[in-house]
Copies of this chain bind each other. A is one copy, B any other.
Amino acid sequence: MNSTPEEEQNAAEENRPETENESISRREMLKLTAIAGTGVVLGMSGMATLMSLKRADPGPGSGMSATKPQADSGDVIPFYGPQQAGIVTPQQPYVCFAAFDILHQDAGQLLKLLQEWSAASALMTAGKPLREGGNVTSPPADTGETKGLSPSNLTLTFGFGPTLFQNNGEDRFGLASEQPAELSDIPTMPGDRLNPQWSGGDIGVQACADDPAVAFHAIRNLAKASKGTAVIRWVQNGYIGAPDGQTPRNLFGFKDGTANRELDSDAARSQHVWVSSSYTPAWMANGTYLVARKIRMFLEPWDRATLAEQEITFGRLKESGAPFGKKNEFDPASLSQFPASSHVWLARSAGTKMLRRAYSYVDGIDAGTGEWDAGLFFISFQRSVKQQFIPMLSLLAKLDALNKFTSHVSSAVFACPPGAGEGGFVGETLFRSGNR
């Protein structure tokens, strides 16, 4: 009642352990807050702009943290490099994937956002908190919920959607001439039940980590940094349950992604994953295309199917993941050894390879049916959507025995540029391309 907001703020500030006269200021502050009650709280945010009580700058990199996250604990995947991380990186068990829409048509603001995002990504993947200022009268730069956690092998992978280049024929940022010819929405397939609200997006960001708290924290802080420039269009969380280094099982209980082993070598990745330096547009060299499909899996009817039906539908033995008549998951088998029309038979029939990086999702119970709203958040990386992903999808959409138990409910495609060099930013090659 008798105190001004400035006095209350001073009291709060002085009362922190950094100050010398701890006991006096604490008592003072408590008296003040007791008098003012919630009024202190309500008045505080407006007041912050009036105040200039800086804390000592803790120096670059140390952020606002006394006991630093264990950035030296070994579970750091470098953000900077010729190619983006999170693509051929061994799959971390958790994903938080967000698609953002840009709110305006200001190419300068977009460029600034990409720069800020890259700088923030470099800090977060190194396990360091974001920082700006560092006094109590500012909102904390970092939301803080992962303080004390290890970097958890966090990767952040960025991609540009078709609408970033042109939306309803409009060249929003002067980037239309740089749009790759094959960067467009995946054609709707028979059986697709795509929800436009969960599909597409101007920019896709895949956050993967060993801890879901770390993956979410990264997306949350990128969203916070984008305020006024971008909004989240959709988000999908997911996980894999896999013993270290083994092929994950999907929610149908089958090992899913066995074929990834064919892409273990650099040579195979150059052939199937990475865009080559002779590609047009040139800014995509060392980049790749990301396809995301949310595939709902109807767990209840699946769980009522016999083991024989499940195995003939999927195309492998459930327990071992082996081809029919074989003992082990990686035992060689020719195409004709898989049941016709099975999922694996068709995927192999398509003859195209891609790097799968799918996650299971459980979004609770479908309020309409009372059944599980769960399935596979399919992510794949390939150097060509048209030559690799679409032929396979078309074949599967037409013939896959698994379709009886699944429904594609979202679709998105993003052109992932190459990685950024130290101090650079992801998307630099696009913004600095010769045509601009």
Contact = CB atoms under 8 A, between A and B. Distances in A.
Given A212-B239, A220-B372, A136 B307 contact: yes
Given A26-B324, A319-B65, A319-B66, A246 B148 contact: yes
Nearest to A231: B370
Interface in A101-151: 135-140, 142-150
A153 to B, nearest CB: 14
Interface string A206-225: 00000111101100100010
Contacts of A251: 143, 145
B25 A325 contact: yes
B339 A30 contact: yes
B38 A308 contact: no
B17 A326 contact: yes
Interface in A333-371: 336-342, 360, 362-365, 367, 370
A252 interface: yes
Given A13-B308, A45-B304, A147-B253, A37 B341 contact: yes
A100 to B, nearest CB: 11
Given A44-B309, A149-B241, A306-B138, A30 B340 contact: yes
A241 B44 contact: no
A242 B9 CA distance: 31
A235 B9 CA distance: 43
Contacts of A197: 367
A33 interface: yes
Interface in A34-80: 34, 37-38, 40-42, 44-45, 48, 64-66
Contacts of A338: 30
A321 B340 CA distance: 60
Interface in A279-301: 299-300
A312 interface: yes
B309 A41 contact: yes
Contact of A364 (B142, B237, B311): B237
A217 B362 CA distance: 11
A26 B317 CA distance: 13
B362 A237 contact: yes
A23 interface: yes
Contact of A253 (B144, B239, B240, B327): B144
Interface string A307-323: 11111110001111010
Nearest to A399: B38
A324 B29 contact: yes
Contacts of A38: 341, 399, 401, 404
Contact of A136 (B137, B216, B254, B306): B306
A243 B312 contact: no
A313 B41 CA distance: 6
24 contacts: A12-B311, A17-B317, A17-B320, A17-B322, A30-B338, A30-B339, A33-B342, A38-B341, A44-B305, A65-B319, A66-B319, A96-B362, A140-B303, A140-B307, A140-B318, A145-B252, A145-B360, A146-B241, A147-B319, A197-B367, A212-B239, A217-B241, A232-B365, A363-B363
Given A12-B308, A30-B324, A224-B300, 18 more contacts: A13-B308, A17-B320, A17-B325, A30-B339, A33-B312, A38-B399, A44-B306, A45-B306, A48-B308, A66-B319, A138-B306, A138-B307, A143-B303, A144-B253, A146-B249, A147-B253, A148-B249, A212-B241
Interface of A: 9, 12-13, 15-17, 22-23, 25-26, 29-30, 33-34, 37-38, 40-42, 44-45, 48, 64-66, 96, 135-140, 142-150, 197, 211-214, 216-217, 220, 224, 231-232, 234-237, 239-243, 246, 249-254, 299-300, 303-313, 317-320, 322, 324-327, 336-342, 360, 362-365, 367, 370, 372, 399, 401, 404
